[in-house]
Structure 1
Amino acid sequence: MKARILKALAPLVLVGSASLAAAEQPESPFPGIAHVSSQASVAEVETRLREALESRGLTLFTVVDHTQNAEKVDMQLPPVRTVIFGNPKVGTPLMQCQGSTALDLPQKMVIREDGDTTRIEWNDPAYLAERHELQECDLPLKKIADVLKGVAQDAAGAKQ
């Protein structure tokens, strides 16, 4: 039964599909991680991500600047930030279905420099459904996936 459910969820898998030129992205080497790329800097993408969250009524909880934290211990990282955000009306039903989902909530997007581009990465909701065995619950996974993809595309400056 689990294989049948996973097959049904397969269309929800989001392997980044937009950049500034809206070109196809290669599949992520990490299962369950969706992404889009941008030619903008990490700082510019973060600004647009904040705007995209606000325009959708999502709550920004915090931004973790991993580069700055590394510098505090005399280490180096290229620009990388984790943006933590969410909406209790969406997250609460996932946690009601399976309490372990709280390990992955609130939602997060990582913005990081990757060579000459900036990557925006997030957990694919279909992956979270599999990880936390949410198949028995009637959850709006496609809608969540679409919102996350739209937020990331807006942050990347990509056309939708």
Structure 2
Amino acid sequence: MLRFILLTCLAVTAAIPARADDMIAVRSGRPVTETLDRLQAVVIAGGFFLVGRVRHSEAAMGVGLSLRPTELMIFGRPQGGTPIMVCNQRAGIDLPLRALAWQDEAGQVWLGMIDPQSLKPRWDLPAACDAPLAAMEAGVRRFLAEATAP
């Protein structure tokens, strides 16, 4: 059942267009998997639940393709996302949160997440969602900083 839910989440999120300027990305001094392991520890300690992790590179190898190390983590907490969905339920397509760790062509590892503030214009969210979006953005920035700290 968990596998079905994860695959459903992945199918839905794969269809969501994201612009590069919507992403908050920070450098990591650790390998991709270790970077996401650290993020996972941070979010679980913060009361979030882990939906799953997708090892894109391993999946690529499984079909005979090559992809630099790339992993996705999906996680959430209803206290943060629900107020945004109350403003516009369709914003639920962008929730729960997702984080991507990848190694670029120069060998640098990055950890990135979509900036929650980009949800406001995307879903025409009213001012009632400003505080929940600000709280989510602060959390995203804190998670990225803690997961990539030396």
TM-score, normalised by the number of residues in structure 2: 0.81
Structure 1 partner of 2:121? 130
Residue 101 of structure 2 is aligned to residue 111 of structure 1: yes
Structure 1 partner of 2:141? 149
Deviation at 1:152, TM superposition (A): 0.9
Structure 2 unaligned regions, length at least 5: 1-18
Structure 1 unaligned regions, length at least 5: 1-28
Structure 1 partner of 2:48? 58
Deviation at 1:136, TM superposition (A): 3.6
Report the number of matched residues.
Answer: 130
Structure 2 partner of 1:48? 38
- SS for the counterpart of 2:21 is coil
- SS for the counterpart of 2:33 is helix
Deviation at 1:82, TM superposition (A): 0.7
Identity of aligned residues (%): 27
Name segments (4+ residues, structure 1) moved above 6 Å. Answer: none
Residue of 94, 97, 109 corresponding to 2:84? 94
The amino acid that maps onto 1:60 is L
The amino acid that maps onto 1:118 is V
Deviation at 1:116, TM superposition (A): 2.6
More helix by share: 2
- SS for the counterpart of 1:137 is helix
Please give the alpha-carbon distance, in whole angstroms, between the structure 2 residues aligned to 1:91 and 1:142.
Answer: 12
Please give the alpha-carbon distance, in whole angstroms, between the structure 2 residues aligned to 1:42 and 1:86.
Answer: 20
